[in-house]
Amino acid sequence: MRAHLSTTYLGMDLKSPIVVAPAGITETAERIGRCEEHGAGAVVMKTMAEPEIMRQSPTPRFRLLKKGKGLRHFVLYSYEQASQFGPEAYAAELEKSRKRVTIPVIASIACTKERSWIEMAQMMESAGANALEINLSCPHGPDMSLDSGIEARITRITGLVASAVKIPVVAKLPSQLTDPSAVAKGVQEAGAKGVVIFNRLVGLDVDVESQAPIMHGAFAGHGGYWSIHYPLRWVAELSPLLAIDIAASGGVASGEDAIKFLLVGASVVQICTAVIVNGYGIISQINAEITDYAARHNFRSMSELRGLACDRVLGLQAVDRRRKVRARIDGEKCNHCGACYRACFHGTIVPDREGYAITSDCTGCGLCAEICDCGAISMVPLSGAETGRETDSQPGRLGN
């Protein structure tokens, strides 16, 4: 059985829940065309910014920090400003994109003056935008400092724009908010039909030899596949509270990552970094991985799996705190590197003649099994007697 990837977002029918997020990869009609060719459900066009200074990107503007092998582990540190296009050129490119592709094209705008928010929104609506994202969260924009007024400003601007246009309006939230639930509920009340959780983080890296910030010296946006967990938590928390759509954004590298967001209630999943570093082909790969997963679990449609994990997220009182497992070392597999011994701050891993042994005081924390590179440590269930902690096989030590 082949699952349908089709879904609805902002009242629109999409053929895939994968939406390409705004960035240079969605700046022109030609690039938007490539998103469609590779199976994107919709595209959000690179943000059009009112301040002219935001339309000029410095060179270079990309660095991959803390890079591991291949392109799985890295921090994408970048200073790519908004679209090079001013309002008229952006509207023209948007019109061209709408003619070129059949999938929805969502415009994205970032303004500073209230009048401009309204004018730009109406301009993009006239140019044929299927929906509009409000970007008050650009890591290199005027709101990057995230002052204390940002939460109220997001709600106010969303309300202004939503009442000025007929197309659906989506608020893209910054990840650094005091109370994301209050802001998300606020934009819903203000008339947004969707919310993007979240834009990327603003950060900094410093070159210790020159004692100066890297690249051209400013704070920069940073993200990568590691960044999925924070938005995942918030999509899980917000989806039961909101009646509007959630577009998840942050850290998606694979079909599995996208499925995680759908399972916690996202309507669509936006991808950006994955396309930047791998090319547009990653879109069809992610679609194929979602299709395979759905077939394996007998889901016929995206709505069947959406939100299934939400009820399984536990609160403080519900977490099972019983001591149920302990670590066990397989002496045959152990290469005696000592990593587990050094990491065990409980002091319950001790050197012995054969290498290392785990004492009966093992708290079952699981750290050593995670650290062990040779698969010698596993977590095993405690027997009933061990749960009472009276009958360890040897005093001061559990059998390995």
Ligand X SMILES: Cc1cc2nc3c(=O)[nH]c(=O)nc-3n(C[C@H](O)[C@H](O)[C@H](O)COP(=O)(O)O)c2cc1C
Tell me the per-residue interface mask from 125 to 144 with ligand X, x by CB under 6 A, - otherwise: ----------x--x------
Min separation Cβ 76 and ligand X, Å: 6
Q: How far is CA 244 from CA 154, 169, 329, in A?
A: 16, 11, 50
* Closest among 10, 345, 381 to 171, alpha carbons compared: 10
How far apart are the C-alpha atoms of 86 and 107, rounded to whole Å? 13
**For ligand X, which is the closer residue by CB, 199 or 348?**
199
Tracing tokens 């395979």 back to the chain, one arrives at 292
- Minimum CB distance to ligand X smaller for 39 or for 223: 223
What residues from 186 to 215 belong to the interface with ligand X (CB under 6 A)? 199-200
The footprint of ligand X on residues 275-294 (CB under 6 A) is 276
Q: Any idea which residue has 């997020």 for tokens? A: 21
Q: DSSP characters for 27-65?
A: SSHHHHHHHHHTT-SEEE---EESSGGGG---SS-EEEE
Binding status of residue 46 toward ligand X by CB under 6 A: yes
Long-range Cβ contact pairs of 366-371 (< 8 A, separation 24 or more): 366/325, 366/327, 367/343, 368/327, 368/340, 368/343, 368/344, 369/327, 371/339, 371/340, 371/343
- In angstroms, the CA 175 to CA 183 distance is 11
In sequence order, what are the residues at sequence separation of 6 or more whose Cβ sits closer than 8 angstroms to the Cβ of residue 97?
28, 29, 32, 33, 43, 45, 105
- x/- site string to ligand X, residues 60 to 99, per CB under 6 A? ----------------x-x-x-x-----------------
Per CB under 6 A, does 325 bind ligand X?
A: no
How far apart, in whole angstroms, are the C-alpha atoms of residue 229 and residue 271? 15
How many residues bind ligand X (CB under 6 A)? The answer is 27
Q: Considering the complex, what minimum distance in angstroms separates the CB of residue 227 from ligand X?
A: 6
Tokens in use for 281?
A: 């082909």
Q: Which of 39, 41, 250, 255 binds ligand X (CB under 6 A)?
A: 250
Separation of alpha carbons 15 and 4, rounded Å: 8
For ligand X, which is the closer residue by CB, 135 or 359? 135
Beta bridge partners of 325: 381
Tell me which residue of 120, 101, 119 sits closest to 48, measured CA to CA: 120
For the chain, the farthest-separated pair of C-alpha atoms sits apart, in whole angstroms, at 79
Q: Which stretch binds ligand X (CB under 6 A): 233-241, 270-278, 312-320, 384-392?
A: 270-278
Output the smallest distance, CB 226 to ligand X, in A.
Answer: 9
By CB under 6 A, the residues from 14 to 43 that bind ligand X are 21-23
Nearest approach in angstroms of CB 61 to ligand X is 7
The residue among 28 and 199 lying less far from ligand X, judged by its C-beta, is: 199
Q: Using the rule CB under 6 A, which residue among 28, 249, 287, 348 binds ligand X?
A: 249
Torsion angle of the four alpha carbons 112, 118, 121, 125, in this order, in degrees rounded to the nearest 10: -170
Q: Quick one: 20 exposed, middle or buried, by C-beta within 10 A (0-12, 13-18, 19+)?
A: buried
Q: Which listed residue (7, 16, 28, 47) binds ligand X by CB under 6 A?
A: 47
CB of 374 to ligand X, least distance (A): 32
Of the pair 64, 343, the CB lying nearest ligand X is at 64
Q: Does 271 bind ligand X (CB under 6 A)?
A: yes
Of 222 and 306, CB closest to ligand X: 222
List strands edge to edge, sheet with 62-65.
62-65, 75-78, 220-223, 201-203
Q: How many CA atoms lie within 13 A of 258 on its CB side?
A: 31
Contact segment (CB under 6 A) with ligand X among 8-16, 163-171, 248-256, 316-324 equals: 248-256
Looking at the Cβ atoms of 48 and 372, the one nearer to ligand X is 48
Nearer CB in complex with ligand X: 71/339:
71
> Which lies closer to ligand X via its Cβ, residue 283 or residue 358?
283
C-beta of 173: minimal distance to ligand X in Å?
A: 10
**Binding-site ranges for ligand X (CB under 6 A):** 21-23, 46-47, 76, 78, 80, 82, 108, 135, 138, 172, 199-200, 221, 223, 227, 249-252, 271-274, 276
